[in-house]
Each structure stands twice: as structure tokens, then as C-alpha cells.
């Protein structure tokens, strides 16, 4: 299962290590399965994806040249409902990564108690150097290629890294053209004008803020004045930073994939967003201290939000982390080795499958609204999401106390237990 994965961790350093993200996901499952004492057969089912599709497809580039891209859609487990999970466009996308992300979606939906199985998709590409028209052609062809697995009752994609509401609009339009009817419920994270929901764009960041607030209250840390560092300044990182600042936190550090910034007195989340939108990255930002994306993780702060990619907090840097709380906006940012070190250091880690569930929870609301053809106001969306986040956080916290376990282990016990129960009552077919 091990394969060579090239992981770009900083601008100046490309680390080539023997690492499999899926191996990390399976190790987390194994720990939960051992503790729950689940049947070996059930473990065997859960330790591999139910269904996976690899597609190689041509896209005509603006130059007229035809390039072949590889994409994936993986459904890890459908015991709880249709598949749900985002679509990622990134040069490092591999089948191994998509498998891990699909498994994490299974657990995330189970922790939040929403009626979905876990799925994920991705295309290996360099979206940052592609034109809008190229991205549209890539999206429409990829949607066509994986359409055999997709549908409102089958599997419902959503945005992830480097995909957004426009990507979902192209995706929805493509599936709708094939079927000859408009099918809004085939994807979530759509623009409002075609059946998107209020509150979806900021939902993951809002959920991260709620998780951070609950975690802070648990350890007696006042949010007002708490120092926050955020790695990754995309849709998740930006909204988490902004909403935490609204709660009185001081944003002391941010980083994108190439460079980071540090200011003890605080950074302005919106000004940074504007700068990044205009200039593409923080690279030329002046007037504050500069740090690398890796150094960002080690800054003096109270709350650290890794909101970029997998494998950022590792055995190599876990010991240097100074935050009291880590709230995982990204999927899989912490390796199992790092988890153990952080636990021993007494750092409270709010795991990804809980901390960043706000996005998929509001995706669920969007899908419900699409099916019912009835739309909610923003307060309704935010309140319902908040109540699911607060309830899930409390359930995980209570289980962690009962079991004397970390929040990650407790979240996994809760999630795996729920999925196993769904599988048990359904039974083995035929």
C-alpha cells in the first residue's frame, strides 16, 4: 500500500518521503477498530474503498494542443446514504490521496450524524496555470467521465482545494445536459442563482471557528485576545481567520502554499485576502515578519489552524508546536506519530472529521433544500449548522473523557461505531 508521494511542504524545499496518506487513514481506522473490538470481516470491508474509478481523459488546451489528464472518484462506504465529498484539483492528487479523503468523508458524515457515505474525487492538474476556459473544459469532461457514479441519490460532489462554486456550476450543467433536465441536487456548493444555499461559502471556516470556540472554552482559554495562526489561506483558512478575529482573536500569523507572515500585534484578515486575490500569494507582502509555511506552524500562538493540505504536522515538528489548541481545518494535516507527541504535550487537537465538518453539514442543507425545492434564510442555515457542530463537539468530548482518549480517537470511535451499526442492521448482501 505504500507508494512514493512527493509532498511539497515549503516553497524552498520539496520533500520526497515514503508516505501514503491512505496508510495514515487505515492506521486511524485500525486503532478505532481494535478499541471497538469490531469483527475482522467488518474491518476488512472498511479498510478498503467500496468502489473506485480512474479516468484518463483529453482536454483541448487554449493552444490547440490536447493534454490527457487523470482523475478519480472513490466511494469509500455507502452504508449511511449516498456518497458525499469534494473534488480536488491539484498537481499532487493521487489515487492514494483520494482514497484517504473518501474514507475521512465517511467518518466526517458519521460524526456529524448526516445521512451520507464517504466519497471524494480529484484531478491531477495545475489549476493555477490553466485558463478559465481550460478549467471549464476539464471540469465538463471529468464530470462526463465520472457521471456513471454521480447523482443526487448516488454520490454528490462539492468543492475542495482549487474548486469552487463556478466549478460546481459547470459540473451541474454538464450532468443536466446529459440527462435533459436540470438536476440541482447533483452537486453542492453551487452558486446561489442555480440552487446553492446561503452560508455555504463560509461554512467550513464558520465550523472551524465554532470548534475553536468550544475547544477554548473547554481549556479555559478566553477567545478575546487569543493568538491565532492559520496555515493555508483558501476558502477554509480565510473564513476561519476572519470569523475568529470577529470573536476577538488576534490573527498573528498566516501562510499560503509558498510563504507566511507573522505579526505579534495582529494582521487584518480581509486586507490579506485582498492582497492575495490581487497578487496571487503573500510572497511580496511587506511591513511584517516573514515565515515559511512550515515555520508558521511553530509560531508562538494559542490556536493553530492548519487549513492547507495533509501531512503538515509530523514527528519532525510536533514537538516544536507552541499552540494550546490545534483545530484541523484541512483534512489529514496531522500524522499519527505527531498525534501521539501532541497528546503527550497536552495540546488539544480538534480532529478534521469534527473540526471541518461545517462545510459538508451545510452541503447537506443545500441538498435538502434542492430536494424539497424550498430555501432557507441565512440565520436558519447558520443556526442549524451551529447546533450540529456544538452537539457533535460535545459528543466527542464526552466520549474522550469516558475513554481517557484523545479527541481524534474519540471522534473515530464515534464515527466507526455508527457506520458499523448501519452495516450490521443492513447485513451482508446477498
Q: Which stretch binds ligand GLU (CB under 6 A): 267-275, 281-289, 353-361, 401-409?
A: 353-361
Question: What is the three-class DSSP state of 122?
Answer: strand
Site residues (CB under 6 A) for ligand GLU, limited to 276-315: none
How far apart are CB 331 and ligand GLU at their closest, in Å? 5
**Among 50, 120, 190, 276, the one annotated catalytic:** 120
Contact 157, 89 (CB under 8 A): no
Please state, in angstroms and rounded to a whole number, the distance separating the CA atoms of residues 30 and 276: 40
| Helix-, strand-, coil-residue percentages of the chain, each rounded to 5 | 50, 20, 35
Q: How far apart are the first and last CA of the chain?
A: 29
Q: How far is the CB of 120 from ligand GLU (least distance, A)?
A: 8
Neighbours of 179 (CB within 10 A): 12
Cα angle value 364/425/44 (rounded, 5°) = 85
Are 105 and 88 contacting, i.e. CB atoms less than 8 angstroms apart? Answer: no
Decide whether 38 or 87 has the Cβ nearer to ligand GLU. Answer: 87
Q: Which of 80, 82, 86, 122 binds ligand GLU (CB under 6 A)?
A: 86
Question: Given the complex with ligand GLU, which of 302 and 352 has the nearer CB atom?
Answer: 352
CB 112 within 8 A of CB 84: no
328 interacts with ligand GLU by CB under 6 A: no
Contact call for residue 363 and ligand GLU (CB under 6 A): yes
Among 49, 82, 85, 234, binds ligand GLU (CB under 6 A): 85
Out of 50, 73, 76, 84, the only residue in the binding site for ligand GLU (CB under 6 A) is 84
Q: Shortest approach of ligand GLU to residue 53 CB, angstroms?
A: 17
Q: Where are the alpha helices (DSSP H) in 158-286?
A: 165-179, 203-219, 235-246, 269-279
Looking at the Cβ atoms of 155 and 302, the one nearer to ligand GLU is 155
Q: What mask, x for binding ligand GLU by CB under 6 A, covers residues 187 to 226? A: -x--------------------------------------
CB of 341 to ligand GLU, least distance (A): 25
| Least distance in angstroms from the C-beta of 343 to ligand GLU | 24
* DSSP for residue 334: B
Instruction: Work out whether 331 is an interface residue with ligand GLU (CB under 6 A).
Output: yes
Q: How far is CA 380 from CA 11, 109, 197, 261, 387, in A?
A: 42, 20, 11, 36, 11
Distance, CA of 12 to CA of 33 (rounded, Å): 40
SS3 236: helix
* Segment interacting with ligand GLU (CB under 6 A) among 24-32, 83-91, 128-136, 141-149: 83-91
Residue 322 annotated among the catalytic residues of the structure: no
> How many residues line the site for ligand GLU (CB under 6 A)?
12
Rule CB under 6 A: say whether 235 interacts with ligand GLU.
Answer: no
Radius of gyration of the chain (CA): 20
Q: In the bound complex, what is the minimum distance in angstroms from residue 367's beta carbon to ligand GLU?
A: 9
75 interacts with ligand GLU by CB under 6 A: no
Q: How far is the CB of 60 from ligand GLU (least distance, A)?
A: 28
Do 359 and 207 touch, CB atoms closer than 8 A?
Answer: yes
Which region, judged by CB under 6 A, interacts with ligand GLU, from 80-88, 129-137, 208-216, 293-301?
A: 80-88
Nearer CB in complex with ligand GLU: 267/381: 381
User: Torsions phi, psi of 268, nearest 5?
Assistant: -100, 115
Residue nearest to ligand GLU (CB): 86
* Site for ligand GLU, residues 88 to 127, rule: CB under 6 A: 108
Which stretch, 11-19, 82-90, 205-213, 247-255, contacts ligand GLU (CB under 6 A)? 82-90
Q: Are strands 51-60 and 14-18 parallel, antiparallel or unpaired?
A: unpaired
Tally of CA atoms within 13 A in the half-sphere of 293 that contains its CB: 26
Which of 158, 223, 381, 414 is the binder for ligand GLU (CB under 6 A)? 158
121-141 burial, b for 16+ CB within 10 Å, e for fewer?
A: bbbbbebeebeeebbbbbbbb
Contact between 397 and ligand GLU by CB under 6 A: the answer reads: no
Residues listed for the chain: 430
Sequence-distant (≥ 6) Cβ neighbours of residue 290 within 8 angstroms: 259, 260, 261, 262
Is 137 one of the binding residues for ligand GLU (CB under 6 A)?
no
Active site (catalytic) residues: 120
Binding site for ligand GLU (CB under 6 A): 84-86, 108, 158, 160, 188, 331, 356, 359-360, 363
Amino acid at each position: 500500500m505504500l507508494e512514493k508521494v512527493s509532498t511539497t511542504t515549503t516553497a524552498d524545499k520539496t520533500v520526497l518521503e515514503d508516505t501514503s496518506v491512505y496508510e495514515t487513514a487505515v492506521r486511524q481506522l485500525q486503532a478505532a477498530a481494535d478499541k471497538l473490538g469490531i469483527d475482522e470481516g467488518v474491518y476488512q470491508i472498511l479498510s478498503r474503498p467500496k468502489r473506485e474509478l480512474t479516468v484518463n481523459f483529453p482536454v483541448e488546451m487554449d493552444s490547440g494542443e490536447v493534454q490527457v489528464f487523470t482523475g478519480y472518484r472513490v466511494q469509500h462506504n455507502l452504508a449511511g446514504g449516498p456518497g458525499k465529498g469534494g473534488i480536488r484539483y491539484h498537481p499532487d492528487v493521487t489515487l492514494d490521496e483520494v482514497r484517504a479523503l473518501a474514507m475521512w468523508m465517511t467518518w466526517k458524515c458519521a460524526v456529524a450524524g448526516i445521512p451520507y457515505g464517504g466519497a471524494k474525487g480529484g484531478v491531477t492538474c495545475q489549476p493555477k496555470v490553466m485558463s478559465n476556459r481550460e478549467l471549464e473544459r476539464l471540469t465538463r469532461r471529468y464530470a462526463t467521465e465520472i457521471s456513471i457514479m454521480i447523482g443526487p441519490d448516488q454520490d454528490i460532489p462539492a468543492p475542495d482545494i482549487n474548486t469552487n462554486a463556478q466549478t460546481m456550476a459547470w459540473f451541474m450543467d454538464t450532468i443536466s445536459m446529459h440527462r435533459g433536465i436540470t438536476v440541482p441536487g447533483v452537486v453542492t456548493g453551487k452558486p446561489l442563482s442555480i440552487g446553492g444555499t446561503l452560508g455555504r461559502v463560509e461554512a467550513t471556516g464558520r465550523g472551524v471557528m465554532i470548534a475553536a470556540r468550544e475547544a477554548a472554552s473547554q481549556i479555559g482559554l478566553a477567545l478575546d485576545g487569543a493568538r491565532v495562526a492559520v496555515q493555508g489561506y483558501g476558502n477554509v483558512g480565510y473564513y476561519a481567520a476572519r470569523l475568529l478575529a470577529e470573536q476577538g482573536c488576534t490573527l498573528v500569523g498566516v501562510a499560503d502554499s509558498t510563504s507566511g507572515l507573522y505579526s505579534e500585534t495582529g494582521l487584518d484578515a480581509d486586507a490579506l485576502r485582498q492582497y492575495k486575490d490581487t497578487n496571487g500569494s503573500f510572497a511580496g507582502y511587506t511591513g511584517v515578519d516573514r515565515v515559511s509555511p512550515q515555520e508558521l506552524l511553530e509560531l508562538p500562538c494559542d490556536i493553530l489552524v492548519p487549513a492547507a493540505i495533509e501531512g503538515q504536522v509530523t514527528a519532525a515538528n510536533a514537538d516544536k508546536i507552541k499552540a494550546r489548541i490545534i483545530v484541523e481545518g484541512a483534512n489529514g494535516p496531522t500524522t499519527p506519530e505527531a498525534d501521539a507527541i501532541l497528546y503527550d504535550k497536552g495540546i488539544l487537537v480538534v480532529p478534521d472529521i469534527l473540526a471541518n465538518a461545517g462545510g459538508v453539514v451545510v452541503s447537506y442543507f443545500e441538498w435538502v433544500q434542492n430536494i424539497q425545492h424550498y430555501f432557507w434564510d441565512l440565520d436558519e442555515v447558520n443556526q442549524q449548522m451551529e447546533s450540529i457542530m456544538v452537539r457533535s463537539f460535545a459528543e466527542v468530548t464526552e466520549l474522550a473523557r469516558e475513554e481517557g482518549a484523545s479527541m481524534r480517537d474519540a471522534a473515530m470511535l464515534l464515527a466507526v461505531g455508527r457506520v458499523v451499526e448501519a452495516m450490521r442492521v443492513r447485513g451482508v448482501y446477498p
